[in-house]
Amino acid sequence: MLIKGSGGIFEVRLDGELLFSKKQVGRFPLPGEVEAAVAPRLAD
């Protein structure tokens, strides 16, 4: 499910677990970074 954010916050969560936060790291994800974080959790 996609949830629209506000204020320029970009976060990726899966089952409530934060996988990437633009606010925490101060940048948008690099190409493939989100996919690399999500893939192992989908394989379970």
* pTM for this prediction: 0.79
| pLDDT over 80 at 41, yes or no | yes
Beta strands in 1-44 (DSSP E): 11-14, 17-21
| The pLDDT of residue 44 | 66
Nearest to 14 by CA among 40, 24, 28: 40
Strand partners of residue 11: 21
Q: What is the mean pLDDT of the chain?
A: 90
Q: How many CB atoms lie within 10 A of CB 7?
A: 5
Nearest to 17 by CA among 44, 37, 43: 37
> pLDDT band at residue 33, thresholds of 50, 70 and 90?
very high
